[in-house]
Structure 1
Amino acid sequence: MTAEDTMRRLELLRLEHRDMDMAIGALIVSGTGDQLQLSRLKKRKLRLRDEIAMLEDSLIPDIIA
């Protein structure tokens, strides 16, 4: 995967993460979401965050001290 591919993937993941955050917030405010649904969305959001962090780390070059 090239750096350009990684940057595109990161942008898509960040967008999905923001969308997931908004969906969770809307369910909480509306009170229509059940706890299982909220839990699943939150877990998905955490997986997205972890994948974003991993890809961001892969873009930073290793520096030998």
Structure 2
Amino acid sequence: MSLSSHLQELKKKHAHLSTSVETLQRSPASDDLEIARLKKEKLMLKEEISRLSAT
């Protein structure tokens, strides 16, 4: 897998997590721990994207 395609996949996952977090936050019966877990995963993806983009 090339670097650009790997970055593309990471960006897709990040966007999907963003959508999931927004949806859960709008839900009245949302699970705060699940939202926190998704946000942490999203942040780790963002950091990896930044790290790989800098190379």
Aligned residue pair count: 55
Provide TM-score, normalisation by structure 1. Answer: 0.79
Deviating beyond 6 angstroms after TM superposition, the runs of 4 or more aligned structure 1 residues are: none
The runs of 5 or more residues in structure 2 that have no matched partner are none
Q: Percent identity?
A: 31
Provide TM-score, normalisation by structure 2. Answer: 0.93
Looking at structure 1, the residues matched to 28 and 43 of structure 2 have their Cα atoms a distance apart, in angstroms, of: 22
Larger radius of gyration: 1
| Equivalent residues in 2 for 1:1-65, closer than 5 Å | 5-58=2-55
CA-based RMSD: 1.2
